[in-house]
Amino acid sequence: MAWGGLGLYNVGFSQDIPGFGTVSDSSTYFGIHAGGAANLLQLTPDLPLVAWADIAVAFAGSPFFPIGFGPGVRYDKAGPVQLVGGLGFAMMPGGGTGEVPIGLRILGMVLFPLPQAHRNLSLQGKLSYDFLNKGFHAFTFTVGAGWAL
- Tell me the pLDDT band of 18, cut-offs 50, 70 and 90: confident
Residue range 111-129, pLDDT digits in tens: 999 999 999 999 999 999 9
What confidence score (pLDDT) does residue 25 get? 87
**pLDDT at position 59 over 90:** yes
What confidence score (pLDDT) does residue 56 get? 96
Work out the percent of the chain whose per-residue pLDDT is above 70.
Answer: 99
131 - beta bridge partners?
A: 104, 137
The answer, as to whether pTM is greater than 0.85, is: yes
For the structural domain made of 2-147, what CATH number should be given? 2.40.160
Question: What mean pLDDT, rounded, does the chain reach?
Answer: 93
What confidence score (pLDDT) does residue 97 get? 67
What confidence score (pLDDT) does residue 79 get? 87
Residue type, 79: G
Give the residue extent of every domain in the chain.
2-147
